[in-house]
Chain A
Amino acid sequence: MRTLIKNGHLIDPANNKNGKFDLLINKGKIEAVEPKGKLKDIADSKIIDAQGAIVTPGFCDMHVHFREPGHEYKETIQTGSESAAAGGFTTVAVMPNTFPVNDNRSVTDFILTQAKETSNINILPIGAITKGLKGEALSDMGELKEAGCIGYSDDGRPVSDSEIMRRALEYSKMFDLPCIQHSEVLALTEGGSMNEGVVSTELGLKGMPNEAEDIMVHRDISLLPKTGGRLHVAHISSGGSVDLVRQAKKKGLPVTCEVAPHHFTLTHEACRGYNTNAKMSPPLRTDSDLELIQEGMRDGTIDIIATDHAPHDLVDKQVEFSKACFGIVGLETALPLTLKMVDKKIISLEKAIDMLTFQPNRIFGLDKGTLGVGKAADITLFDDRKEYSIDPSKFKSRSKNSPYKGWKVRGKILLTLVNGKPVFQSK
């Protein structure tokens, strides 16, 4: 049975489409995309009337933490997938800082088996750069790729040793997968729990300075020409790092970067009152960083939006600020927060969709994020005008840690399809 999505406004940056198009799905794949009205209603096909809705490729988040195996009380592959689908995401890349760490085939196999059994979205594992995320010895990158990993990262921790990072960039070249760095010089952030600045000084909290990020971004970029590896800078947060990436790109170096919605919508002011839902790593920074991040989105230095979805239970958040875990639930607020950048005229709606769909797939060499004929029917429909206020208690994620409670936003996911099948439908 076919499905016809008609009367919608289709935005498909991968194929340069932006306008009134109808879309036909057959056997989980996109069979045709034609201007509105051109596709005749086919007998016994299911019709989805997308009047008033935006139709895009399913969103892809290259940076999530689904906590399984090991910390299932925070999130599982199942609950994380439900959260993703509710946020319009059809593909996510899961970071390897699970317990045990995803640094070998057996853990990757487990993740993919769980995904097959409990998730109906596309789960792409990221393998560790070093065994146990210890930063000491390279993981078996070939085996990880064969098992299904699509990139390498020690996320949550940086690869501190320059020699190890050099070798990681060299060795990963053999498998043509990027190294994703959580850029942080630990010596500069030890004991820190928020951005270093006037707010950390007033609150009496140890700060994490911008330079901790900038220095490592600079180091990793310096390692690129000789190694020929590919560097993807995770969750860029400091204005200085944006400029380092910009300069490196001008030189034609193979570097890309992502930004999380909280780093383009919030500053360290959100930590006041010891709000642990504003405790992130890298931390929320200053107004000036926020502007430079937005400038990086505007001029294309920042390639993609990735949420760094980091669910934490209340037992890890309702504690003393310095003892609280870093991170927030990201998947279910990504679209409305991104639309705020459209409202501010930082990026166009088409660019926003590009950063959530085609660009991540381009960087990771994947075949998703497109509405091309013959591709998997991973599709998101949303109402970009629907206004509401964010209520974390309604999140599908197992955790509810979000600093956006009560925010007035627009942009509501109506329907998420994976391989043509609904995985989320708004009530």
Chain B
Amino acid sequence: MPVTGVRLSAVSKRFGEAQVIDNLSLEVEPGEFMVFLGPSGCGKSTLLRMVAGLETIDQGEIHVAGKRIDHLPPGERNVAMVFQQYALYPHMTVRENLSFGLRNARVPADEIALRIDAAARRLEITGLLERRPGQLSGGQRQRAAIARAIVKKPALFLFDEPLSNLDAALRARTRIELAQLHQQLKATMIFVTHDQVEAMTLADRIVVLNDRRIEQIGTPMEIYRRPATLFVASFVGTPRINLVPVQVEESGGKALARLPGGATIRTDIAFSTLPGEPAMTLGLRPESVRIADAAAGDARGTARVVERLGDRTLVHVALADDTLLTAEDRGDSSVQTGQAVGLLVDGRAGHLFAADGMAYHGGVQ
């Protein structure tokens, strides 16, 4: 399988009056699993379809494997796509579905047979080759759709939310299989999803898109640990990050965040890097807020809701001024609803967000 990359340069797209993609540039490394993550309507599917050639582009260039492809018809771009609804041809058997593209490309019949055989074995659908899509379960259709992409040996795989039609158990399994498939094929893949768990688990790098723009590009842990913007911080991570309006002061060169109730959190963020406005938003992942005795801790509050997840417990704590914080406790936590608790905050893991949404982090800048 040839190892290739993708380059989008200053790509724009309008639908009538609506600008859907605005001057966007992006590079996907050869062999990389890149995930486009964003809420509905952020333009991530449109971007994928522009690479596939199913949407035209108004400006910019798209290169795959060093070759400009944005003026080519979809069939000549050497890309394969797995659709959300699979888009298997309903009146053809799985074998015919797999061979359709190869026959159009005039691949010799014995070569087609070999490739189908290999792909079917890889995806464990050998026994289903003579069936029609209507006779397959959702998971089997999904495999057939992936096999149809694999047999083409494309320079680039495109996945348009392919897991969204599967039930939760199957989705988790298919996710792992996709990760394995990528390791085996070492092919360049672009995967579109609005599910941050899929993005975190599958991606080498994630492109977080919002409102037609790229918010951040980074590895899953970079995205999680050092979100570039308030949007990224709140979109990625379950449970959601705590966002609290704070007043920022200087203390020993670092930023000190004062909560609405008066409690202060010492962050690791150099005060000199901040824009200078005192009113900011403090972002704290629930795992950096721990439950302590009512008397101890950096802040005090009342447990409003206790969610027991087994391995850990999420406690939604209302501070004195009714600000809600999600804190984490051990799986066997004894906290009860209505109980007064103290909160131990790991301020070094905190992020500060300016009014424009830009993020400031501690540690190495």
To the question of whether A and B form a pair in one complex, the answer is: no
| A residues apposed to B, CB below 8 Å | none
| B residues apposed to A, CB below 8 Å | none
